[in-house]
Amino acid sequence: MRRLVVNADDFGFTEDVNEGILRSHLDGIVRSASLMANGAAFEDAVRIARRHPGLGVGCHLTLVQGESLSQPGIRLPSSLRSLLASPPTFAEARREFQAQADRITRSGIVPFHLDTHKHVHLVPSVLDAALAVAQRLGVGWIRKPFDAPFGLSPGLRACLAMALRPWRIPFEDRLRKAGCRTADYFAGFVATGRLDAIWLARLLRRLPQGVGELVCHPGICGPQLLAAETRLKASREVELKALCSSRARRAVSEAGIELVSYRELAAAGDAGAA
């Protein structure tokens, strides 16, 4: 069986991004979204989530971009490079993540999965902080951000898998010890910024059996997004069109894919990868 969570990141970033995520849910194949507690359009995202309970919501924890919630008035590092130049300690990351998670739960949102902006939980101390917050919230699903490039030849895929093994195995061990689950595979990251309808349909037809996550970044290129600090602007509309396209829906049907949210996986008790 193929079960796929198509998850939209950056929910709460701007209102035009929120509108794109909503459209990709109502008219497309998105079933889940990751909410940024420090996003400029957080309250707008919460209103959308309340009106559309079929959209599963998780925490999109961030240590890059925007204002700190644990230290109001302090800006987080502006880039991933800046963060990695001076990585946070476990205590610092946990404090910020907990403040963000608390804002989400105070809004009435019950998160069912957890991931991080720019995949910063690949840093071991940050992953441990994210897992501590997940355990406190009772969130069982954590993103495993090791992309599966299904468009590559089997030989190249095998080489890439071996190259990632030194990072992937310790990552999965930490999740296993914390009692958290992750999808069997993760896809879409390498296509960020260029995910069009043709690429998306081709990927959907190549997905393996099991439970997978496909990350996406839909949005509308409106005034707020144009003014925001992000490289993903016009590309968000391209992704929105792809996610709502007949090509994508046809590929889902022909591949026998069941579209689900992490909320549905949690309710069904699906195991996913250890």
pLDDT tens digit string along 140-163? 999 998 876 665 555 555 555 555
Does residue 164 form part of some domain? Answer: yes
Does residue 18 form part of some domain? Answer: yes
Does residue 177 form part of some domain? Answer: yes
| DSSP string over 61-74 | E-SSSSB-SSSTTP
pLDDT tens digit string along 93-151? 999 999 999 999 999 999 999 999 999 999 999 999 999 999 999 999 999 988 766 65
Percent of the chain with pLDDT over 70: 91
pTM over 0.85: yes
Question: How is residue 42 written in tokens?
Answer: 């957080």
For residue 208, give its domain range. 2-268
pLDDT at 110: 95
Instruction: Please name every residue paired with 212 in a beta bridge, in sequence order, or none if there are none.
Output: 4, 185
Q: Give mean pLDDT, residues 34-55.
A: 97
Does residue 274 form part of some domain? Answer: no
Average pLDDT for the chain: 91
Does residue 273 form part of some domain? Answer: no
Does residue 181 form part of some domain? Answer: yes
Does residue 44 form part of some domain? Answer: yes
> Per the structure, how many domains does the chain have?
1
| pLDDT(216) > 90 | yes
pLDDT tens digit string along 232-258? 899 999 999 999 999 999 999 999 999
Does residue 134 form part of some domain? Answer: yes
- The CATH number of whichever domain residue 47 belongs to comes to 3.20.20.370
- Asked if 142 and 180 touch (Cβ cutoff 8 Å), the reply is yes
